[in-house]
Amino acid sequence: MDQVVTTLLTTMSEQLGAMIAVLGAGIAAGFAGSGSAIGIAIADEAASGIMTEDPGKFGLALLLLALPGTQGIYGLLAAFFAILKVGLLGGAAVKVTIWQGIGIFGSLMPIAIACYYSAIAQGKASAGAILLISKRPEEIGKAVILPAMVETYAVLALLLSIILMNSIKL
């Protein structure tokens, strides 16, 4: 019995680091994706509203609808980096200690948190911009720039997550 427990604990300690990193990757992709889905839904409501009256605005609205979707892509990208780093996507096997796993998990938090909130905020900004183009379709350039400002902080979070992840030597 003792031998079984000892084997189990040894296996766990060998794989726990990688699993913590995987947990971080899951959270990053999950939160960023959820934020994007909520953001797009908010913008979608506004787009449906104006398209009920003027279906011709679909093209313009689509451009603004797509903006909150980028955070989900950033989250997925960061998650890929993480699982690539711990060697779960092929390549040579990498041994990840618990502390290294926690480090990778921590490096994924900026992208998870910033993308979740920024996608929702961008959805609201896009909804406002969709109202703008319902009245002034010629102002589509400005209407895209306004919600795109929110994107800056999701990009910064992605940058930080990548820098932090690269700073962890395996």
Residues of this chain that bind another protein (CB under 8 A): 41-42, 45-50, 52-54, 57, 124, 127-128, 130-131, 134-135
Six token digits for residue 164 = 């932090």
> Which C-beta is closer to another protein: that of 11 or that of 56?
56
Nearest approach, Cβ of residue 48 and another protein (Å): 5
> Which C-beta is closer to another protein: that of 135 or that of 169?
135
C-alpha span between 60 and 21 (Å, rounded)? 40
Cα dist from 63 to 66, 72, 104, 128, 143, whole Å: 5, 16, 34, 13, 10
> Which C-beta is closer to another protein: that of 86 or that of 133?
133
Nearest approach, Cβ of residue 71 and another protein (Å): 17
> Which C-beta is closer to another protein: that of 39 or that of 75?
39
User: Is 60 within 8 Å of 133 (Cβ atoms)?
Assistant: yes
Q: How far apart are the first and last CA of the chain?
A: 34
Nearest approach, Cβ of residue 41 and another protein (Å): 7
Nearest approach, Cβ of residue 95 and another protein (Å): 46
Six token digits for residue 132 = 């703008």
Six token digits for residue 121 = 């905020």
Nearest approach, Cβ of residue 117 and another protein (Å): 14
C-alpha span between 82 and 85 (Å, rounded)? 5
C-alpha span between 92 and 97 (Å, rounded)? 16
> Which C-beta is closer to another protein: that of 102 or that of 131?
131
